[in-house]
A and B are shown apart, each in its own frame.
Chain A
Amino acid sequence: MRKYHLFFLLLIVLVSACKKDRDQPAEIIPQGMDELVVPADFDWKTTHAYTFELSSAREGIVSIESADGVVYFKGMISQATDLSVEISLPAYLNKVKIKQLGRIFEVELNQAIITASF
């Protein structure tokens, strides 16, 4: 009987081990900063830089805002003067609104240069 007990115990251990291997692949967790493998070109910035090329048929203040109203930039554009401005935005931001004189563009932050014409 003891032989059978030992057999079942081994079986359970083997099954458990197999299950763990299958569902939770081993994750290598760095024990310290020195173990981090960081891409050589990583700039460690928490922002992304964008260039906004803005133009309008009317003079007025243009703003670049998040959906929840954080104003990242305000500047003046007019019919005679387009505005090209470089702005760094939080890296987690996916889209912004560009507003001028009540008109609003919603743009995705998926390219380095973003153009809007009012």
Chain B
Amino acid sequence: MNKKYEFRLILLFAFLSLLTTKTQAQSAITEISGTTSDLTASDTYTANGATGSNLANNSYTYKYGAASGFNDNQFSLNSFEADGMGYRYEGIPVEVYFRRVDNSTVSGTRDLLFYFGQLSSSTFKLKAPYEPLMESAFVGNSNMMRGSDNLFSNAMDGNGNNNNIERLDVVVSAGITLVSAEGQGYALLERGGANQHDSFVTAVILSVDGSGTPTSYSDVVRVGSSEYGTTNPIANQPSVVLRRDGSIEPLKTSTTLGNQGIGGVMFKFSDFGLTDGQTIYGYSVAAADFPSSGSGANMLDYTNTTYFPTNTNGTTQGAGGIDMIALTGIVREISISGNVFNDITGLTNNLVDGDPLAAIEGNDLYVNLVDELGKVVQSVAVEADGSFGFDAVPLGDLSLQLSILEGTPGNNAPAINLIPEWAYVSDMAGTGAVAENNDGMISFFVGSENIDGLNFGVQKRPTAEIETLAAQQNPGGNVFVSVPAGAFGGEDFDGGTVDAIRISSYPIGADQIKINGISYDFLSFPAEGITIPANVNGEPQQTIEIDPAEGDVSVIINYYSIDNAGSESAIPGSVTVPFTSGPIIIVNNYPATGYGTLAYEDLWPSKGDYDFNDMVIDYRFVITTNNNNMVSQLDGTFILKAFGASYENGFGFQLSESIDANDLTVTGYELSSDVVTLSGNGTEAGQSKPTIIVFDNAYEQMAYPGTGIGVNTTPGATYVQPDTLKIKIIFPENQYSFNDLDIANFNPFIFVNLDRAVEVHLPNYAPTDLADLSLLGQYEDASNPGAGIYYKTANNLPWAINIYESFEYPIEKQEIIWAHLKFAEWATSGGVLFPNWYQNLSGYRNESLIYQVPTN
């Protein structure tokens, strides 16, 4: 044959080989899940090793099943994973035939099996129960703790582990019509070390005769060692090879083996070119020396030594050395499925139910199958009838996520999103009727079974209305105004109803809100809002009242409608209640808590007796400002309570230099002794700062009662009713601010014994322009104007004090520190200790030294 023809012949063979034999369509099995159990069945016998083996001359005890002492006697396949997909064992009954052809080594029937187990002190301890007949051991999913050894080996095994089997037929005589050629198939598992598994060929039986003998085959698929993958899904363990001939004697050991695991290969029927709707009758397995040129038709005659040589080599990884695990039968991909419902009842009925749903308002719904790492495995669109399904899913922990976003396999899962107007209301994991969640995600574990009933419930959210009421007069103060229920409203869809509203946040512009009789302010309003039952129109069934803030203000109540499934409206509704008021007048008081007190010693610049009762005046200012915080009026109330002095003293005060006295109009003063000169506007003349003289002679305000020193300081002396004077100061419009007024730093003073030039001020407050400055620093006074020090002694004692609250003054000649017992600590601590020393608290006073107003 010339080279040209030889080359063409090679091409022809190669082409025919492609037509008849496929390789690498199958997938390595990467994970096996099964059930391991501890059996009670056991068998024990005594026998020598197998004839022709090295163990033939030794006697051994054989213990099987429970007698072995192992507790993993039974291992049945539940499911496995290949090419990232899970398959489960279908349990369809099969018949197993070992097709034999006598050869020069083996004739008749030889049962050649291995059992996982080991030799221990002349005892073979074998995990699986005793089953000597290969046909029985290999039927179905009986026990994977055993299998064949050198299944198709005819010669050359050093321990005599050869056989005369040329083909293994796994027959389903009734036939199986393929529903999914892509999802149905079979697996072949083999004992061996990783990367050391044995080769073989296999084909699908397309027809059988009345005896279950195949009459036609599919294409043949060849499997090499590499098709098992690189790791064994079942870990290594020792095993023992046993055999018997003629089906009469018990199995006897021929070889003990070291640690080997289980690997496997999965075949889909589509790998053989089969399609949905075809009927198959099982599959056959043969030695790897079945020629590459052999077709399915050549698989029929296992006696044809061209295709089934009778000298098949059984050495390690030889053509016939497959150590097939005793597992036969059909497997099918694991599927999961569920439905999507428009569930208007949500979790309230513990069911995921309602009308089927495939899209929401034009947006298709997708179910994304997501693995433990958050990666999308598969993504499917929900069918028009609301159903969805995944026909091949991996084993393990998975989740389904319902979204309007379609996932891309291998990528991170997209967000679990619906359009804002729709909500997840119920999810159900697995079969059963209990709705478990409402987050659009179902988590589950894929083991050996299909999972149905992975259902999602979604629904359209209700809406909430936006309403603005007519403006009304602001009642002012702490007055509540009812908000009509009809101002609120909502609508639900698809048969659902609005059940409630939730006021989601504290209303804007309200000092208080009262719901069903319970008042809340900004701080006490619950962070989660307040839910109120509503009628089907979304009108609250409890009273809602608001106390508006002062002025022109709109109170805005934000709320959500809630439907019977518990879904809230996507967008909050609101009720706006506008309030109007007249011109804004703001009133402040100083002191805010009530009257304060000014208490003086009048012997300045000589020190006094520190009873601080030479002049005692309660005072309080009312400051009126407008909406620009500009002062329009200052009203001062002064109550002359006592004066423990023989001097005829006057009283006045000075305001901030920020204010021009000429801008003011003052009324309410009482002058009687002709020692004060006023300007036309009521302020004192000759002053650079606005100065108001309230009265000029205390004795003209409160008559001397005839006994005691002065008025209302000597116990037992006749009590004289205090004299109240009200000073009104009108300010020009929008000229002086609250800060300009600086009322807390007003400068009150007395002037002594009708001498306008002798003034006594609070410590560090300067005298007025009319004071005799030459008196500063005389006697005990240690004023130092250059340092801003006024009216203090050398040891920092004052001649006057200003108390924020009304002061109960000492009786005559009793020092303040004796009457007010915390005063000394307050003073010596620089005001840190007992800042409330003047209050009537336990231990704060010696009441016997405090002037008591007679009760009769």
Contacts and interface: CB of A to CB of B under 8 A. Distances in A.
3 closest A-B pairs by beta carbon, nearest first, are A88-B744, A91-B835, A104-B522
Contact of A92 (B507, B588, B836): B836
B815 A32 contact: yes
B16 interface: no
Given A61-B549, A70-B592, A75-B625, A102 B742 contact: no
Contact of B824 (A36, A87, A100): A36
B610 interface: yes
Contact of A103 (B522, B591, B629, B801): B522
Interface residues of B, number: 59
Interface in A51-90: 58-61, 70-76, 83-88, 90
A106 B581 CA distance: 28
B523 A75 contact: no
B601 to A, nearest CB: 10
A49 B744 contact: yes
B523 A102 contact: no
A39 interface: yes
B506 A33 contact: no
B742 A60 contact: no
Contact of B795 (A38, A44, A58, A85): A38
Given A75-B625, A86-B742, A102-B506, A43 B817 contact: no
A101 B824 contact: no
B606 to A, nearest CB: 13
A53 B507 CA distance: 24
Nearest to B594: A70
7 contacts: A36-B824, A44-B831, A74-B586, A75-B629, A91-B831, A92-B835, A103-B508
B646 interface: no
Contacts of A92: 835-836
A37 interface: yes
Interface of A: 29-30, 32-34, 36-47, 49, 58-61, 70-76, 83-88, 90-92, 97, 99-104, 106
Contacts of B151: none
A6 B651 CA distance: 68
Nearest to A71: B592
Contacts of A73: 588, 592
A44 B549 contact: no
Given A44-B763, A45-B831, A104-B523, A74 B587 contact: yes
A114 to B, nearest CB: 15
Given A33-B817, A85-B738, 12 more contacts: A30-B824, A32-B815, A38-B797, A46-B802, A60-B551, A73-B588, A75-B625, A90-B804, A92-B836, A101-B510, A102-B511, A102-B512
Residue among A30, A38, A75 with the highest chain B CB neighbour number at 10 A: A38
A60 to B, nearest CB: 6
A72 to B, nearest CB: 4
Nearest to A90: B804
Contacts of A37: 795, 828
Contact of B511 (A43, A49, A70, A99): A99
Contacts of B553: 60, 101
A88 to B, nearest CB: 3
B521 interface: yes
A76 B815 contact: no
A101 B831 contact: no
Nearest to A100: B549
A33 B593 CA distance: 29
A11 to B, nearest CB: 35
B827 A90 contact: no
A102 B549 contact: yes
A47 B778 CA distance: 29
A102 B510 contact: yes
B831 A42 contact: yes
Nearest to B513: A102
B798 A76 contact: no
Nearest to B764: A43
Q: Is the interface of B mostly helix, strand, loop or mixed?
A: loop
Nearest to A77: B629
Contact of B817 (A36, A61, A88): A36
A99 B521 CA distance: 10
B796 to A, nearest CB: 4
Contacts of A76: 551, 584, 586, 627-629
Given A44-B762, A90-B804, A34 B830 contact: no
Contacts of A101: 508-510, 549, 553
A33 B815 contact: yes
Nearest to A74: B586
A38 B586 contact: no
A96 B836 CA distance: 17
Interface string B508-540: 111110000000011100000000000000000
Nearest to B509: A101
Nearest to B553: A60
Nearest to A29: B824
A56 B815 CA distance: 50
A42 B796 contact: yes
Given A99-B522, A106-B523, A90 B836 contact: yes
A86 B739 contact: yes
Nearest to A65: B592
Contacts of B511: 99, 102
Nearest to B744: A88
Interface in B732-781: 738-739, 742, 744-745, 762-764
A74 B830 contact: no
B121 to A, nearest CB: 84
Contact of B801 (A29, A44, A85, A88): A44
A58 B627 contact: no
Nearest to A39: B830
A61 B511 CA distance: 11
Interface string B534-578: 000000000000000111110100000000000000000000000
Contact of B802 (A33, A45, A58, A100): A45
A40 B794 CA distance: 9
A102 B808 CA distance: 38
Contacts of A40: 796
A46 B549 contact: no
B816 interface: yes
A41 to B, nearest CB: 7
B838 interface: yes
A90 B797 CA distance: 21
B434 interface: no
A43 B610 CA distance: 17
Nearest to A33: B610
B521 A102 contact: yes
A84 B739 contact: yes
Interface in B780-835: 795-798, 801-805, 815-817, 824, 827-828, 830-831, 835
B817 A72 contact: no
Contacts of A59: 552
Contacts of A49: 744
A61 B551 contact: yes
Interface in B578-607: 584, 586-593, 607
A36 B629 contact: no
Given A47-B744, A101-B508, A32 B797 contact: no
A91 B817 CA distance: 19
Contacts of A97: 523
Q: Give the interface centre of B592, B610, B739, B764 by most chain A CB atoms within 10 Å.
A: B592
Contact of A33 (B521, B797, B836): B797
A75 B828 contact: no
Nearest to B593: A70
Contact of A34 (B506, B588, B627, B797): B797
